[in-house]
Each structure stands twice: as C-alpha cells, then as structure tokens.
Amino acid sequence: MVTFIPFGEKPNREGVLYVLNYLKRNKLLEDYMIVESSNIELLTDRVPRDRVYIIGDHLASYGIVKSLRPPALLSIDAHTDLMHDYLDHGSWLAYTLEERIINRAAVVGPVLMIPTTERTELWTRRVKIFPALLRSRKIGRRWKAYRNLQTGAVDEVIAEAREYLGEEIYLTVDMDVLRPEYRIARFQHGELTLEQLLEILEEIKRKFRIVAFDIAEVSDRIRRSRLGKKALVEVFQLLGGG
C-alpha cells in the first residue's frame, strides 16, 4: 500500500493529491490511503506502518520515522535539513538525531546547509554528509574535502554511507535534489539530473535493505512540469511503489 500525506502549506497539500490522482489515472497505483493532519504531533500518531509514503512538507518525514523507529536514515536532498533553531522542514533531521529517534543518518546530494567549520550552527553529530559538489570543511587548522558526487564515484559514496549506517535504513528522497528545470519542489533546487538520481537510488537498493521510503517536498508545481512528472514516476517505480 502507498500512504499519501498532504502535509504542510496549500501548495504541498495540493501537489500530493495531484500526484495521487496522476498515478491512479496512469494505472500505477492500486491500494492507497490518505493521512491528513494539521500538526506534526497528530501526524505521528496517525501514520500507518507502511513501506511507501508520498509527502508534501519534508517535516512529515520526522513524523514517519518517529512512528516507525528505523535504526538509521539515508536522505537524498539538496539541503541537509540540519538547522537547529526550531522544528520545521529545514531542521527535522537535526531533531530526529538529537531526540535519538534514529541512531545515525547520512545525507547525499546537498548543495545547501553544509557545515564548513567547527562553529557552524548546524547539527553535526552522528551524521555524514556527501555533497553534490566539491565542498570542504575546516577541522582544526586544516581544510578537508567532503567525499562528494562531483569528484567521487557513486558506488564509493554509497559504500561509505553503508559502512557508516549499517544494512537497514529508512530512505527519504526530497525531489528538490533535482535541477531547477524539473520544477517539483517549492524552494531552492539541487544539482542532480534524473539520470544521476536514478543511479544513486539503484546503488542504494544494491547496498541497503530499505525498510520504508518516502518521496518528499512534492508541490503543485508538478502540475505544469512534464519533466517533474516523469521524474516522480521513475523514482516511484524504481523504489518499488508501482
């Protein structure tokens, strides 16, 4: 079954419901349910134990993992979501780690919210970051490059994530990791093409046991995006949602 969570502001809610109807029209969806909530606490109580979730605001992932309690989490995202001010779509992963809802996490593909010094005001404990582009961080007096997708092979990046996280993960795929022309999410987009994203997901499927996954930050922009609809369907089918 597939659980649709139209959580967040109106563009996110409408985007999730549009995708539901689009998948139904194209005969890509059979059993499904819709879970709605006005706040994250209620959502956590209402989330069913499922394998596939399609969600609006990425904060919904916090509610899902708080309900499922997986041992580790792998996020594919243009942002690290490691802000540490208040709980929202830009900080949900930080709070998931701080509250020990999961033991470890890794983020693949970010171009934003990447810690660069020891005093960066982002959560950095029990999480590994693999940026889309070459990025460095200052450790003591020296600068060290992150292992990244620009200079490193995908299989090497995912192998390092597997060594850190262990075999079993919850996977969240924020569609804003794709380049701007895909027009799915509402905020800043990332640097990946669909082909690159699919390559990463194929490698994740080979290396991990995915206990459940979500496709996140779907917005109503997808109505007018041929590339966006194609991307969502291909990610959905690759991960086993079809």
Given pLDDT bands bounded at 50, 70 and 90, which one contains residue 242?
Answer: very low
* pLDDT higher than threshold 80 for residue 187: no
- Please give the pLDDT value at position 119: 80
Query: What digits encode the pLDDT tens for the residues 21-71?
Result: 999 999 999 899 999 998 999 999 999 999 999 999 999 999 999 999 999
Contact 92, 58 (CB under 8 A): yes
Architecture of domain 2-238 in this structure: 3-Layer(aba) Sandwich (3.40)
The stretch 127-133 carries a mean pLDDT of 97
Is pLDDT above 60 for 182? yes
Between CA 187 and CA 180 the distance in angstroms is 10
Determine what percent of the chain is predicted with pLDDT higher than 70: 99
pLDDT single digits (tens) 94-127: 999 999 999 999 999 999 999 998 788 899 999 9
Report whether pLDDT(164) > 70. Answer: yes
Unique residue bearing structure tokens 């983020």: 107
Domain ranges across the chain: 2-238
Beta carbons within 8 Å of 132's beta carbon, 6+ residues apart: 78, 109, 110, 111, 148, 149, 150, 177, 190, 191, 192
Asked if the model's pLDDT at residue 157 lies above 80, the reply is yes
Given this model, what pLDDT does residue 184 score? 86
Helices (H) and strands (E) in the chain, counts: 7, 10
pLDDT tier at 224, thresholds 50, 70, 90: very high
